[in-house]
């Protein structure tokens, strides 16, 4: 606004010279000065780094009911959660945060039917309406939650990302209109530091059981620009699908993803901190993940992840309290480069082995495994078109722990339908190989080195390194993508030797997980 005021003032000065024969020359010179000034001011106002905050929220849940509560009762519960979020938002702002992300379902919880969620919904307008709810709360009807979020953003001069429910009326002229005459959407909203609504995203890939909400007619690709980079937004289960997650990075070139989620941890593949940090690295963007804290439902795991390493993360299955995380990030990330790669895994000849392959189940998918029987070795295991190559060296081969190299190449069809290709080195649940693939949280074996590569049929490959006690290896491994040729992608992951042998860093699982979006079914 100051820039445009200055431009106007200079232009008014120009008018004093309108009778002069040199008016054109003076005007052109002044406009050049103005252009240079604008560029300088924009450069100064653009931040090279910013402070991000995410809040893992111990949500207060509604009482189970088959009958909808009143709007007053619904608002009372939402205000209890907003009180907790307000404390986190204020604390983050006082510590210099520029943006804070809060979780999916963080304002009203879950276990709703289509009817019982209705009192919790508000009409959320398109951000193009240029609306600051804190200044004009009645403009779009009764919107107390949006008003409070807007005021929190404005009063604390911070961007706020929150998840609430949207309602949109429809009628018989719309052939897809639900019988109750309205659409209901799981919705993320973003308010800027002035309290203005700047983004609204309707979740597209609903998780099993989200019957209270409708799927938007087409995937929405939502971005918002700040002076600390371009942001994209999607929610929870969306992360496993091409739209909108990959599209935001590939086509809209966002620097940072904000990610409200209510994530239930599933070992060995989809622990929150494990997969979210891998997504940041695999896609080359910052990733701000805010999860619900509800250990009895395996919900924990929030983090601030840069493309090169996790900057802050929280995984806590023991306590009942929420957790605020803050960290500094680069505003502008260097996106993935798909050219000038060199071939690696596709040129490796299969390592010979005397070990016999066996099958095991991990998260309902049948893997082909090979047991690691020696303290050091080279192994290859294949399933369909995927071959996984492993080189490793243990500090010692323990008799009470079994590790296996596994491969899976197929369609996952349990809570959703998506095509997976996975190379994994994991600890088995017991010392018997028939338990390989079961959930494990602790380990004792130390690896001095390992390298894992695979011939993936997708360029979207995510490297996961999980240590004992479900902890990450922050920035202590390299992820080297190599050339894609006829849909054969080779990938190599190398663990940095000195950091791995520290006593607190003992390998639980190493994995490269590929999502083959072209092979999605349904």
Which listed residue (154, 196, 203, 511) is catalytic?
203
pLDDT for position 176: 96
At residue 340, does pLDDT exceed 70?
A: no
Count the neighbouring beta carbons within 10 Å of the beta carbon of residue 463: 21
At residue 56, does pLDDT exceed 90?
A: yes
At residue 198, does pLDDT exceed 90?
A: yes
At residue 291, does pLDDT exceed 50?
A: yes
At residue 152, does pLDDT exceed 90?
A: yes
Helix, strand, coil fractions of the chain, as percent rounded to 5? 25, 35, 45
pLDDT for position 11: 42
- Quote the percentage of the chain above a pLDDT of 70: 80
Rounded Cα distance between 460 and 112, Å, is 35
Rounded Cα distance between 233 and 263, Å, is 16
pLDDT for position 494: 41
Rounded Cα distance between 47 and 24, Å, is 36
At residue 59, does pLDDT exceed 70?
A: yes
- Give the domain ranges of the chain: 2-45, 49-330, 345-519
Determine the average pLDDT of the residues in 316-339: 85
At residue 27, does pLDDT exceed 80?
A: no
pLDDT for position 474: 56
Confidence of residue 350 (pLDDT cuts 50, 70, 90): low
Rounded Cα distance between 489 and 502, Å, is 32
pLDDT for position 515: 79
Sorted by sequence, the CB contacts under 8 Å of residue 229 that are 6+ apart come out as 50, 254, 255, 256, 286, 331, 332, 333
104 is catalytic: yes
Confidence of residue 491 (pLDDT cuts 50, 70, 90): very low
Tens-place pLDDT, residues 402-444:
999 999 999 998 887 889 999 999 999 999 999 999 888 888 8
pTM: 0.84
Sorted by sequence, the CB contacts under 8 Å of residue 287 that are 6+ apart come out as 256, 257, 259, 276, 277, 279, 280, 303, 304, 305
Which listed residue (56, 122, 151, 236) is catalytic?
236
pLDDT for position 4: 42
Tens-place pLDDT, residues 214-269:
999 999 999 999 999 999 999 999 999 999 999 999 999 999 999 999 999 988 77
CATH number of this structure's domain 49-330 = 3.60.110.10
């Amino acid at each position: 606004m100051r820039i445009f005021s200055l431009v106007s003032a200079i232009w008014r000065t120009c008018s004093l010279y309108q009778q002069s024969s040199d008016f054109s020359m003076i005007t052109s010179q002044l406009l050049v000065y103005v252009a240079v000034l604008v560029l300088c001011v924009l450069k100064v106002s653009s931040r090279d780094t910013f402070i991000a905050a995410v809040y893992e929220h111990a949500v207060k849940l509604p009482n189970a009911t088959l009958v909808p509560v009143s709007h007053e009762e619904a608002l009372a519960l939402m205000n209890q959660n907003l009180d907790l979020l307000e404390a986190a938002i204020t604390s983050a702002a006082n510590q210099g945060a520029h943006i804070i992300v809060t979780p999916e379902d963080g304002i009203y919880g879950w276990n709703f039917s289509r009817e019982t969620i209705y009192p919790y919904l508000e009409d959320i307008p398109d951000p193009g309406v240029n609306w600051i709810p804190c200044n004009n709360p009645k403009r779009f009807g009764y919107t107390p939650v949006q008003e409070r979020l807007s005021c929190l953003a404005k009063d604390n001069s911070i961007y706020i990302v929150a998840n609430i429910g949207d309602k949109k009326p429809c009628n018989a002229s719309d052939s897809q209109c639900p019988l109750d005459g309205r659409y209901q959407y799981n919705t993320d909203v973003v308010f800027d530091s002035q309290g203005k609504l700047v983004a609204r995203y309707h979740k597209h890939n609903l998780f099993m059981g989200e019957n209270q909400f409708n799927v938007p007619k087409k995937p929405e690709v939502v971005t918002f620009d700040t002076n600390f980079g371009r942001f994209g937004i999607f929610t929870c289960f969306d992360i496993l699908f091409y739209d909108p997650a990959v599209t935001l990075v590939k086509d809209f070139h966002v620097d940072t993803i904000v990610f409200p989620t209510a994530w239930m941890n599933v070992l060995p593949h989809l622990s929150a901190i494990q997969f979210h940090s891998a997504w940041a690295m695999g896609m080359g963007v910052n990733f701000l993940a805010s999860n619900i804290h509800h250990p009895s439902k395996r919900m924990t795991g929030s983090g601030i992840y840069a493309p090169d390493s996790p900057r802050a993360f929280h995984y806590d299955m023991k306590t009942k309290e929420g957790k605020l995380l803050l960290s500094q990030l680069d505003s502008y990330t260097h996106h993935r480069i798909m050219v000038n790669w060199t071939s690696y895994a596709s040129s490796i000849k299969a390592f010979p082995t005397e070990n016999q392959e066996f099958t095991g189940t991990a998260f309902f998918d049948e893997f082909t495994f090979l047991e690691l029987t020696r303290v050091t070795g080279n192994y290859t295991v294949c399933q369909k078109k995927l071959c996984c190559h492993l080189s490793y060296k243990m500090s010692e081969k323990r008799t009470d722990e079994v590790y296996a190299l596994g491969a899976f190449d197929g369609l996952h069809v349990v809570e959703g339908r998506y095509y997976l290709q996975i190379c994994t080195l994991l600890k088995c649940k017991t010392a018997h190989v028939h338990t390989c693939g079961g959930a494990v949280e602790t380990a004792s074996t130390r690896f001095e080195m390992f390298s894992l590569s695979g011939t993936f049929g997708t360029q979207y490959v995510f490297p996961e390194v999980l240590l004992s006690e479900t902890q990450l290896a922050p920035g202590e491994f390299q992820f080297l993508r190599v050339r894609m040729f006829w849909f054969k992608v080779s990938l190599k992951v190398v663990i940095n030797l000195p950091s791995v042998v520290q006593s607190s860093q003992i390998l639980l699982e190493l994995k490269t997980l590929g999502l083959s979006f072209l092979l999605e079914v349904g």
